[in-house]
Amino acid sequence: MKHYKDSNNNLFGFEENAVIPSGLTEITMDEVKAINNVKAQAAYEALSYAEKRAQAYPSIPDQLDTIYHEGIDAWKATIAAVKQEYPKP
């Protein structure tokens, strides 16, 4: 399998014996990963504060575990830390 990119950094993979469309440049797997990481980071930055918070909050089982073992105040502190990291604009 060989990997290629076009002028917009769209990525393609073709078998060794495939006919490669014009306009594509062959790249290494490391370059593919680097492009994907840049895209992933850009996609993450484009998320709203609420979406970032939703991903950052501990899971419900973990939150319940915190409440059971450490109490409501500890749970509030956990949630507040996420809200502070991704403030409402």
- Give yes or no for residue 50 binding another protein (CB under 8 A): no
Distance, in Å, from the CA atom of 54 to the CA atom of 47, rounded to the nearest integer, reads 10
Contacts of 11 (CB under 8 A, 6+ apart): 3, 4, 5, 32, 35, 36
Answer yes or no whether residue 70 interacts with another protein by CB under 8 A.
no
Q: Determine which residue in the list 7, 8, 22, 59 makes contact with another protein, applying CB under 8 A.
A: 59
What tokens were used for 40? 């992933």
Q: Is residue 28 a contact residue for another protein (CB under 8 A)?
A: no
Q: Out of 40, 77, 80, 81, point to the residue binding another protein (CB under 8 A).
A: 40
- Residue 61 touches another protein, criterion: CB under 8 A: yes
Half-sphere exposure of 69 (CA within 13 A, CB side): 6
What tokens were used for 19? 């006919």
Binding site for another protein (CB under 8 A): 1, 3, 10-15, 18, 29, 32-33, 36-37, 39-41, 43-44, 47, 52, 55, 58-62, 65
